[in-house]
A and B are shown apart, each in its own frame.
Chain A
């Protein structure tokens, strides 16, 4: 496929939010089905996890009959290498609040929560100030919607939506079985729309400029823009809004340090792409055009040739081993064994063939683990071991 296009920068998310009152007023006076159709035709997909179509999510929740429903903004942002949600909440909080309230209008929910990770406690005072101003305006225009912050306490797994509900209910953050899906039965077993911070910020863009403006950006199956958190061996680490559908070659030409050996796309639970596959890799959601999917929020970590891929994998596995909730055996024991296994191969205690056993174990976890954490360990494990096998051994 063609990879001759340059990276396309965009500036929607952080553009000023001064028009939030107007956007809110205008949109809560539109019928819910019209707003849902707008979102559906924009083809916005969730920016926090599985890439579920946002319009469809709202529609499902809107169709359930219930006296109480909730809207939750997922600001747990725990994926290593991801730091864009914090920036959105500090720079344009009103966009997120407005989108939550519009969602409340669409699905008929009166209560919203922001689940903010404990590490971002310092954001809380400013965010609370924005919320009071926001609620004050809601009263003025007779909109019955309130928003509360719920603080996390240092557990990555609580970013998983059902673990997040458990946590809000005062329990250990252990994921539930799905179905039922949150849209039907979420927080307090009530219908709940849960969206990532960035997803809500994009919804604001769509409700401000219309679906077409958003749809015209990006490529088939991956419409619109996305915030990328760029870190690692790059001369310009930071947060960038780019159109989806870029080739990894173009990305590395722009952000690399001239010696990029591999890029980890999507954080520790994402994939490692080695240099030889940059050209064939397009950044976007799965679809015909795409070589790789974005399992999480657009983290791009660059590694140059001075980095040991063994150390990288070791660090990721240590992360998963610690953050596994321990509820299901494939993940609890699997993470421990993978970590132990690569160390044993490295020290020569086991021969290189042991890596193949570990690859099969990772694959088993992908199919048998209860939630996305255990299921996605294989992404980084297999892509690193398969592409940098010699570094695992010597």
Chain B
């Protein structure tokens, strides 16, 4: 990890960050402020837009907030929702905590893996879906559950989850850029 931090630190001197990230970060910093305590909302804002924190966006945040990039990286990687690996447009997070796992989480997960042809931790080749597991979503009375981006789905069955994903697939084909 140290190597990676150093890499980020040095690369900030050699590479010009991507422009879209730079503008986004600047806007977020304008909106929230440039103090250390504004860091999380800014990181969240980038993830909201780009689904993950790229190296260049972390470097850009460090620059805007005038702090070491390694600190940005260190903070970001602490939080499980602040992804730092490229993610698909829709991030599926299946709850794997006790009640969901008792109530059929594995069948739900299998149905998703089967339909999207990816394993947990992977992204579909077209960049539409990423599949992850997560801890208790606070809907145990309606287990099993999952999140797709910010939306919660409860009382899942393999059939239900296939229907939900089909809708997303249609939405993603029709909408092009518009899926949130």
Contacts and interface: CB of A to CB of B under 8 A. Distances in A.
Contact of A232 (B99, B139, B150): B99
B176 interface: no
Nearest to A85: B138
Contacts of B136: 78-82, 319
Contacts of B97: 80, 268, 315, 319
A233 B141 CA distance: 10
Contact of B99 (A81, A121, A151, A153): A81
Interface in B111-143: 134-143
Nearest to B82: A153
Given A80-B136, A238-B141, A231 B37 contact: no
A188 B37 contact: yes
Contacts of B137: 119
B75 interface: yes
Contacts of A92: none
Interface stretch (A94-102, A165-173, A205-213, A364-372): A165-173
A237 B135 contact: no
Contacts of B44: 118, 151, 153
A239 B35 CA distance: 40
B135 A322 contact: yes
Given A83-B138, A120-B138, A232-B102, A155 B37 contact: no
A153 B43 contact: yes
Nearest to B101: A315
A227 to B, nearest CB: 12
Contacts of A78: 135-136, 138
A301 interface: yes
A229 interface: yes
Contacts of A268: 97-98
Contacts of A121: 150
Nearest to B39: A170
A272 to B, nearest CB: 11
Contacts of A79: 136
Contacts of A311: 101
Contact of A122 (B36, B98, B141, B150): B150
B140 A122 contact: no
B38 A170 contact: yes
A186 B71 CA distance: 22
B6 interface: no
B4 interface: no
A139 interface: no
B79 interface: yes
A82 B136 CA distance: 9
B75 A171 contact: yes
B135 A80 contact: yes
A307 interface: yes
Contacts of B15: none
**Nearest 3 Cβ contacts at the A-B interface:** A170-B39, A154-B81, A237-B141
Interface of A: 77-83, 85-86, 117-122, 150-156, 167-173, 188, 229-233, 237-239, 268, 301, 307, 311-312, 315-316, 319, 322-323, 325
Given A81-B140, A153-B44, 18 more contacts: A80-B97, A83-B140, A118-B79, A118-B81, A153-B82, A154-B80, A170-B37, A170-B40, A170-B75, A171-B36, A188-B37, A229-B140, A230-B141, A232-B99, A232-B140, A237-B141, A312-B98, A315-B101
11 contacts: A78-B138, A82-B136, A151-B44, A152-B79, A153-B81, A168-B37, A169-B37, A170-B36, A173-B78, A230-B141, A301-B98
